[in-house]
Each structure stands twice: as structure tokens, then as C-alpha cells.
Amino acid sequence: MTLVPLPAFIAVSATLFFIGVAGVLVRRNAVVILMSVELMLNATNLAFVAFSRRLAVAGERGSVFVVFVFVVAAAEVAVGLAIILAAYRNRPTVDVDQLDEMKG
Amino acid sequence: MNIDVVGLVWLVPGIPLAAAIVNGLFGRRWLHRATGVIASVALGLSAVLGVAIFFAVVAAGHVARTVTLYEWIGAGDFHVNVAALVDPLSATMVAVVTVVSFLIHVFSNGYMEHDPGIHRFFTWLPLFVFLMLTLVLADNYLLMFVGWEGVGLCSYLLIGFWFERPAPYTAANKAFWMNRIGDWGFTIGTILTFLTFGSLTFHDVFPKVAGVAQTQPLTITFIALAFFLGATGKSAQLPLYSWLPDAMEGPTPVSALIHAATMVTAGVYLVARSTPLFAVAGPALLVVAIIGAVTALFAATIALVQVDIKRVLAYSTVSQLGYMFLACGVGAPIAAVFHLATHAFFKALLFLGSGSVIHATEEQDMRRMGGLRRKMPITYWTFLLAGGALAAIPPLAGFWSKDEIVGAAFTNGQPILWAVGVGTGLLTAFYTTRMIYLTFHGEPRDHHLYDHAHESPAVMTVPLLLLCVGAVFAGLVLGFPPEAGFIHRFLEGTVTAEAAAQSELPNYVLIAGLAATAVVAGLIGIAIGYAMYARRRPDPAAVSRAVGPIYTLLWNKYFVDELYDHRILEGGRALFGAAWAFDAHIIDGIVDRLAWLVSLLGSGLRRVQTGIVGNYALSIAAGLLILIVVYGGYATGVLHR
Amino acid sequence: MDVLGPILFAFLTLMIVGGGLGVVLAGRITTSALLMAFTFLNMAGMFVLLGSETIAAFQVLIYVGAITVLILYGVMFTPQTPRAYGLFFQKQTPWGALVAALAALPVIVVAFSFHDAASLPAPGGDLNALATAVFTSFAFPFEVASVLLLSAMVGAIVLVKREPASRPPAAPPDPERPV
């Protein structure tokens, strides 16, 4: 059985991760930025699982870490959405460019 | 008695401190006039304990016990304890300070009765006593310095007690600054003592003095002179005396406290305590004697022409302190301490008596008084006896102690200083007579003032009477027979460096002859005073006209204040002006430039803070990129460590 | 069988990268959300391909289920007005894209420096190993994670809770009474 080599998975993970980074950097809609962050988290999950399955030194620890990333992602998206809603209530916009009260 | 009284010595300063804290915290809102009662009771307890300790030390003979409260500083070889040294000298001082302070506190209840700031007064007053007792009981120079500075602070606060008026706060500032000059000397002395002896504790320093004097005589002399500079500031000697007469601007009980018990005696105590140091200090001892004698004469001449009753007393204090330093300088520190004790009683009495007069008439100018003896008999008689003690009329207290000082100057080979002492005695008798006559005798010169005068209440007269007992009998009890009395045996070995030399029988013929000379001089002074102010023959006004320039000189107190103001202070102001300009333009200029630079940088950096979240995210990503590049560079070997 | 793995991998890679790009580039936000769910679903396929069936199940449950639903709620609660200016990019778009691309390149290069281990864990599911690890070595972090979830829940509630519109005005201080 020909296995897909480990570097291929890592490359896919890195690609998706930087797509997420680009999304965070270029989009101005807060909800889309949140989605991009989720993409990044998921990309790291792929790397974790790949290492867990294909590197002897990683063992189950990679998979366990993925579980924790799930937890963090769930918490992050809940709080993130709460912040977006709270900010939206103060200023009716989800355009992060207009949330510039911290301008020096 | 199984109670270890000496072990309780820390309560002696502790109780006044507690009273000061209670009055300071609760006085303004709740206690008001009760502060006086609290302070008086506290001082009463303290005095009882102080006297008990005195008798305990007497009973035990020549003890010197150190009661350590805790270690204050322990750094390597440098150890300073908060500890009380109880020996005959400090026990004598404690007894005098607490008893006199207690009576002054009681008197103050009457004197300050109507003052709105009474709680303030009775906060500072016990604090003053506390710090003086700290000074007296300290077993090392550093703790002594705490008390030393503390009494300076309290005198500042109390002299400027009526700070609403300009004169008191000016006087308070003057006292503070002059004392600061002296304190600088004390600081130098303390530092040098530590550098030379490696310790500041009396018991460590004094045994080494003789040895060090062999190798480093100049150092010892310099240390002694530095301490003496401190003593001249605190004890109002030339050239730092002029704050004390100005200190009359404070309430009269404060003056009594400063003059009798708590402040000016500190300098004498310092010199007496450091006798082993001064004894081997060579020329320093002569400096002490000369400064003392000159100050005594100088202040007595000024006192001749003063018209403010308190200023006469102030200059007389300066003069009497001069006597004490003269005694220290001619190698008779016991006589100095003896005179300190008797002086504390009669000078406190004189001040409280003048306070009683001022309380009754609200006037300090003797030219407007006269004839008050009929209105204020108790004040008059006590004042008369105290004046007699000041003029050294036997058998009153001042006679025994002062004659001993003057005699010591003669027997220790300083006939010139002896002559100065006798002459000053004549002047003292004269101005005392003048003061008493102008105040109490003759016809009332201001009838409105005379009609309103009245004897003071019992809370003021009873302390007068008690102090009068001391002023009359203290000399006899402590100092008879001359040079072999109780106080000599008591202090011998503690104060004097060589105990054995003193124990031989004194030459009573010589002593009697010297005493007779001094008494005759005093009587001459009284006679002149009586002739001038009772008989008007010669008329004082005519005399002052006859010696016009001298009178002007004395009236203006030798123009010393003007000299200080115009020469020294002008120079100081110029220096301070230059310092200010340096500070304002150079130091502040540098700081301003730095601030300008920082604000420039800040306004540049401010542009980075766009407030747009995306920009922040971009900068994070850029940082990530840099990290990746650097890490990748090291990992691939492109970059080297 | 030999070619099934690589073919599957290529397909999933295409779907994931395409879906990810779609999320970032899509004009309509609901499109983005649905494409995100699609990407997550394909990611679950990747996990299966790697032999981690349990993680794949979690992925479907949590990401495709819970998180996507949450995001859709977020989309619902905020108005999605079309932009008057341009598409949806901001001024720093070229810079952001450049930085992301520059950072991605070395990472992908580094990715090819890894190699598969000599002996691989036996296929046949990862549930046992995962469960053993979570409840033995990682028991404490697991509990801490539950605390994190709880606090995130409380925090989210506090953040979106509306303040009362107006409070009764505070009584003015009484000038007669000392403070």
C-alpha cells in the first residue's frame, strides 16, 4: 500500500494555514476574519494529526493536542462572536476598519 | 523592692511619646483641653519613674547599665542598638529633665488655657521631652543624633507655634537653620568617630580614646571640635547663639522648656558625655573654655540693656550656658552638670514667672510694667529667689554651682577666664536686679496695665512654688560641701576621666577666698543696679547717654544679626541664586530637551497606532515572517551563530 | 488500492485549498460560511486518510456542526450590507497577501524536510490510544480545558448581556452630613 508521504500533509496544512493568515490580513468583515482564524486552527490540526500518525516520537500526544485545539477553537469562536456582537451593539458595523477607537 | 526600676527605663521616654501620639491623633477632634491633662499626667508618671531611677542608681553606686530595647542597625561590624545607658550622668539628666518638664507641663495648662491650638501644643510638648530623653539616654552617638535632630524639630514647631504671625515663624526658621549648622558638625563628628573607632557606642569608643590620642592626636581634636560645633548650635554659643533670643516668640512655657530642660542643655550634655574624648583633645578643650567664657561675657553685656523681660532671660541663658562650657573647657565637667541641674530649676522658674507676668498683663516690655509685686506676690517672691539664684547669691542654688565653675577656672590655671567669669557674675547680678526692679518694684508706669494685672491661678503658681524649692535648695543639697558634695561623689568616675585625682581633699581656704571674691562682685552688681534703678543715682538714661556708642552697640546686640543678614546671608543668597539658575537652565534644560525628544519620538510612533485592527494583524504577521526567516536561516545554515 | 490513497489525497487537497481560498475570497458572507463548512468536511476526510477516525468524527461534530452553526448565527445577527467601495479588501491587502505568501514559502519548504517514521502505528483506529492518553497522562489538562470552556461560556454571556437601559439616578450627596 502506497502511503501518501508525511511532507504532503504538512504542505497542505501550511497552505491552508497561510490562506487563513491572508484572510485575517485582507478581509474587513469581522465574521470572515473569525472564519479565517478557524481555518488556521484547523490547518494546525492537520499537522498535529499527521505528526501523530507518522512520526514515532509524537505518538498519541499529537492527537490529544488536537482535542485541546478543538476545545480552544470552540471557546474562541464563542467569545469572538460575543465580542463581535457587543462591538456591533456599540457601533452598528462589523467592519473592523471602522472600529478604530484605539487610534493613537 | 524587687522591681527592677532601671529595667523599666524605656518607659521614661515611652510615656511622653504615648501621650504625644494620643494627643496628636485624638486631640483636635475629641480631647481639646484634656490633652493638657493627659500630657501632664504622662509627664508626672515619667518624672516619678525618672526620680526612682535616679535613686536606684544612687543606691547602686557607680553603675553603668545598658538596657537594650532592640538592635537597630546590624551591618557587618557596624552595630547600633536602640539602648539606654543608665549611669549617674544620664540618671541625673533624666531626673532633672522629667521633673522640670512635668512642672512646666502643669503650668502650661493654665498658660495655654484659652489658646485654640492647645491640642497641638500638648502634642509637641511631650514629643519634645520624649526626644530629649532619647538624646540623654542613648548609649551611642547615632541614637543620640536622633534625639538631637528631634529636639531641633520640636523646637522649630514650638517656637513657630503661633505661625499666623510673621515673627514666630521667622524665629522658628532661624532656630532651625542655626541648629542645622550645628547638626552638620555633629554629623561630621559621628562619622569621624565611626571611622576612627569602628563603633559609635560610648562604651566601645571611650576606652580606645587614650590609645588613639597617642597615634592620631589631630583626629581626636578634630572630632572634639566637630562635636563642639554641634554643641554651640544646640546650646546657643558663639557664633550660633542668636536663634535663642529670637526663640522668645514661642509661648513662654516653650521658652522655659527650651532653656531649662530639653534643648539647650543638650550641647552641654554632649560635651559632658564625651568628656573622655575632650579630655585628650588638647587644643579643643581650650577652644571650648574660651568660647564658653566669651559667650558668657558677650551675652551678659547684651542682657544689660534689653527691655523685653524674656529677652533678658534668653541672654542670661546664653550667658549661663557659656559658664557650663567654660567648666567643661577647664576640666570640671562635674561643675558643668551641677550648674546645668541648678540652672534648670531657677531658669525654668524665671521663665515661668515671666510667663505668669505676661499672662497677667499681656505685655513683655518691662518699661511698661513696675510695681507688680503688690498684685502678684507669689510670682514676685519666687521670681526674686530665682533671680537671686541666677545672681549667685548664697545660699541659693546658683551660688554653689557657678562659684565652682569660676573657681575651677582659677585652680586649673586659667586666671584670665576666671576674671571673665567673675566680671560676668557682676554683670549678671546687675541685669537681674534691673529686671526685677523694673518689673516688680517702683511705681506702675502703665496704669491701665497695672489695674488689670492679677495673680495667676493655682495651676500656674503651684509649679512656681515647687520649682522655687529646687531653685533654693538644689545647690545646697547636691553641692555641699564644695567640690566634695553629693553630686561630685555621684558623678565622679563617670564624667571625669581620672577619678582618683579628684578624691583628695579640696583646698577650702582657696575655695572660700574665690567664692568670696565672686560674691562680692555679685553684690557690687546688685548695688549698682539698686542705685541706678531704685535711687536714679546715677540716672539710667543719663548713663546710657554718657556711654552713647557703647549703649547703641549693646542695644543692637553688637549688630550680629545685621552682620549675619547682610554679609553671610547675602553671600548665601547669591550662591543659591546661582544654584537656582543652574538648576533652572542647565538641569531643567537637559530634562526639557529629553522630554522634547521623547515626545517627538512619541508623536512619530503615534502614527503607527492607526486603531485599525487589520494593521495590527499585519504587523503580527510581519513579525512572524521575520521569525520564520531567522529560524529558517539558522536551521538551513545560511545564518551562523 | 495502491492508487486510491494518492488519488484521494489529491482530491481532498484540491477541495481544502479551493475551499479555503473561497472562504477568503467569496463576496457573500454566507458563501464564505458554507465554504468553510465544506473545507472542514474535507479536512475530516484527510484525518480518515491518516487513520485517525476518532479525530475525524470530532471534526465533523465540532467544526462542521457546532462552529459552523455558531458562525452562521453571527452572520444572522449582523447586517451584511454590500460595500459601496470596491470589493471587500482594505488598503493593506497587497501587503497582507505578500506577507502571507512570503511566510508560506519557507514553511512549505521546511515541510518537505520531514520523513515518515520507519515503523508506523498499526492501522485500525486511534480511539483506544487517544482515550488512554486523555484519561491518564492528560487527565489534568483535560479538566483544565473543561474549566476553560466554562469560563468562555460565562464570558460570552457576560459580553452579550444587555445593560439595563437606564438606572434610577443616584441620590445627590447630602451637604449637611460629613462624609
> What does DSSP assign to residue C125?
-
pLDDT in tens, A20-68: 998 888 887 888 888 999 999 999 999 999 888 887 777 778 888 898 9
The predicted pLDDT at position C174 comes to 55
Helix B458-479 with B88-111: angle, nearest 10 deg? 160
What is residue B502's predicted lDDT score, i.e. its pLDDT? Answer: 47
Among B607-611, B615-619, C101-105, C135-139, whose mean pLDDT is lowest? B607-611
B273-296 confidence digits (pLDDT tens): 888 888 887 788 888 888 888 898
CATH of residue C66? 1.20.120.1200
Domain identity same for C1 and C57 = yes
Is the residue at C66 inside a domain? yes
How many angstroms separate the CA atoms of B169 and C177, rounded? 36
Domains of chain A in sequence order: 7-90 (1.10.287.3510)
How close C21 comes to chain B (CA, Å)? 18
- Looking at every residue in chain B, the average pLDDT score rounds to 83
Interchain CB distance below 8 Å, A102 and B611: yes
Residues in chain C closer than 8 A to A100 (CB atoms): none
pLDDT in tens, B44-56: 999 999 999 888 8
Q: Determine whether B616 is exposed, middle or buried from the number of CB atoms within 10 Å of its CB (0-12, 13-18, 19+).
A: middle
pLDDT of residue B606 exceeding 60, the answer is: yes
Helix H or strand E segment including B40? helix B34-60
Cell representation of residue B74:
546590624
On whether residue C174 sits in a domain, the answer given is no
Which pLDDT score, from 0 to 100, does residue B499 have? 42
CA distance to partner chain B, nearest, from residue C114 (Å): 13
- The arithmetic mean of pLDDT across residues B359-383, rounded, is 82
CA distances C61 to A41, A53, B494, C44, Å, are 16, 21, 96, 10
pLDDT of residue C113: 78
Cα torsion angle, B382, B408, B424, B261, sign: negative
* pLDDT beyond 80 at B555: no
Inter-chain touch C110–B632, beta carbons under 8 Å: yes
> B136 or B572: which carries more pLDDT confidence?
B136
With bands split at pLDDT 50, 70 and 90, how would you rate the model's confidence at A16? very high
H-type alpha helices, chain C: 4-25, 29-50, 53-59, 68-77, 93-111, 127-135, 139-160
C70 lies in the same domain as C136? no
Q: Is B97 helix (H, G, I), strand (E, B) or coil?
A: helix
Chains that touch C (3 or more CB pairs under 8 A): A, B
For residue C142, being part of any structural domain is answered with yes
Of A98-102, B12-16, B97-101, B316-320, minimum mean pLDDT range: A98-102
Q: What is the pLDDT of residue C166?
A: 52
What is the C-alpha to C-alpha distance for residues B354 and B312, in angstroms, rounded to an integer?
11
Grid coordinates in use for B306? 534689653
Name the phi and psi angles at C63, rounded to 5: -75, -55
Query: Which of B300-314, C1-15, C138-152 has maximum average pLDDT?
Result: C138-152
B349 vs B547 pLDDT, higher one:
B349
The reply to whether C93 falls in a domain is: no
Query: Residue C73 domain-assigned?
Result: yes
Q: Do both C66 and C135 map to the same domain?
A: no
Residue A97 pLDDT grade (very low, low, confident, very high; cuts 50, 70, 90)? low
- Tens digit of each residue's pLDDT (9 = 90 or more) over C124-158: 667 888 888 888 888 999 899 999 999 998 988 88
Q: What is the pLDDT of residues C40-97, one digit of tens each?
A: 999 999 998 888 888 899 899 988 888 888 888 888 877 665 554 434 455 677 888 8
Mean pLDDT score across all residues of chain A: 83
Task: Tell which residue, B610, A26, A100, has the closest CA to residue C88.
Answer: A26
Q: Which of A17, A25, A26 to mutate to test the interface with B (most CBs of B within 10 A)?
A: A25
* B561 vs A38 pLDDT, higher one: A38
Q: Confidence class of residue B258 from pLDDT cuts 50, 70 and 90?
A: confident
C85 lies within 8 A of chain A by CB: no
Domain of residue C147, residue span: 125-159
The residues, any chain, with a CB within 8 Å of residue B228's CB and separated by 6 or more, are: B185, B271, B278, B284, B287, B288, B291
Confidence band, pLDDT 50/70/90 cuts, at residue A2: low
Cα distances (angstroms) measured from residue B185 to each of B178, B228, B230, B563: 11, 8, 5, 22
State pLDDT tens for residues B164-214: 888 888 888 888 888 888 899 999 999 999 888 888 888 888 888 888 888
pLDDT exceeds cutoff 80 at B507: no
Q: Is C145 part of a structural domain of the chain? A: yes
> Residue B1: pLDDT above 60?
no
State how far the Cα of C155 lies from the Cα of C149, in Å rounded to an integer. 10
* Count of domains for chain C: 2
B407-444 pLDDT, tens per residue?
Answer: 888 887 778 888 888 888 888 888 888 888 888 887 77
Residues of C in contact with A35 (CB under 8 A): 23, 32-33, 36, 71
| Chains within contact range of chain B (3+ C-beta pairs < 8 Å) | A, C
Q: Is B69 on the interface with A (CB under 8 A)?
A: no
User: End of a domain among C45, C78, C111?
Assistant: C78
Per-residue pLDDT averaged across B318-332, rounded?
A: 87
Over residues B349-362, the pLDDT tens digits come to 888 888 888 888 87
Q: Report the pLDDT averaged over residues A66-91.
A: 85
Are the beta carbons of B629 and C99 separated by less than 8 Å? Answer: no
CB contact under 8 A, A100 and B608: no
On chain A, the residues whose CB falls within 8 A of the CB of B606 are 104
- C4 and C73 housed in the same domain: yes
Residue B541 has pLDDT above 80, yes or no: no
Selection from B35-49, B62-76, B510-524 with the highest mean pLDDT: B35-49
The answer to whether the CB atoms of B621 and C107 lie below 8 A apart is no
Q: Give domain status of residue C170, yes or no.
A: no
Question: What's the full length of chain B, in residues?
Answer: 641
> Does residue C41 form part of some domain?
yes
Among C78, C101, C135, where does a domain finish? C78
pLDDT for the residue numbered C86:
37
Give the B:C interface size as CB pairs under 8 Å. 27
